[in-house]
Amino acid sequence: MKRRAFIKNTAAATSASLILSPGIAACNNGENDQKKRPLKNNIHHSVCQWCYGKIPLEDLLPKLKEMGILAIDLMGPKDWPTLKKHGIICSMCNGAEINLTDGWNDLQFHQQLIANYTEMIPLVAEAGYKNLICFSGNRRGISNEEGMANCVKGLQQVLPLAEKHQVILQMELFNSKIDHPDYMCDNTAWGIELCDQLGSEHFKLLYDIYHMQINEGDIIRTIREQHSYFGHYHTAGVPGRNEINDSQELYYPAIMKAILETGFKGFVAQEFIPTQTDILASLKEAIAICDV
């Protein structure tokens, strides 16, 4: 399942509250499939469900808990009761966005977006969650400056509600070179300027390591210097958006250590598309790589 299709089909329906259950997590140590070790829990691990869409959610969630993953990304209200039943939190909520291309940078979508986020923000808070994703949208001939002004104008209409409910809106950085042609928020500098103009701690950037490696590189220095603007991280291997092991160019242990050095307390979510036959083995390997 493509992420674009998955998010398009996610809709707000119900709300639920969740208390994260404590426990000792375990995952494969990468040396012997039979040996398991407790996670260090320096990194708060999460995973994007769309990458494992072939596995029913009811079957996936217990497997995540076995690995020590107690959070999942990109789930809407209709699935929150299922997460609660399994003791998994939603570390990045969705369902308020229109899609990945029709976003805040275009005035024609503001009325719908304002209505969607006005409805969704209280539901996120009621469920005990705090992160809600949003997107700039595609340029469609709109300049970066005009798109920035439009984003500010629209987001200012919903940020007071987010602040009231202690919900953080997070705009994801995408690459426009390979996966999302014409997407406006395709570089860190543009996203940071938007954060500065909005001037709210309840608006952050979702720093997608895969996407930013493609569009600009310089991942570790960017994290070290600009981490205060980043509220969430996504991973994947470059090139290909597959496993984050030595089949690709990024060295994730060093990236995770750089994130830890900033004092980050949020979530790092695996968002790669597994190529192995045993897709959960790929996820176990990724968690072991990032558990620094």
Q: CATH number of the domain at 216, please.
A: 3.20.20.150
Residue 234 within a domain: yes
Question: Which residue has tokens 């897709």?
Answer: 279
Q: How many residues does the chain have?
A: 292
Residue 25 within a domain: no
Q: How many CA atoms lie within 13 A of 105 on its CB side?
A: 27
Structural domain including 222 reads 41-290
Residue 2 within a domain: no
pTM given for the model? 0.87
Q: Which pLDDT belongs to residue 37?
A: 66
Contact 291, 39 (CB under 8 A): yes
Residue 29 within a domain: no
Those residues of the chain that have pLDDT short of 50 are 1, 11-35
Residue 12 within a domain: no
Residue 248 within a domain: yes
Q: Which pLDDT belongs to residue 29?
A: 37
Residue 24 within a domain: no
Residue 128 within a domain: yes
Give the chain's domain count: 1
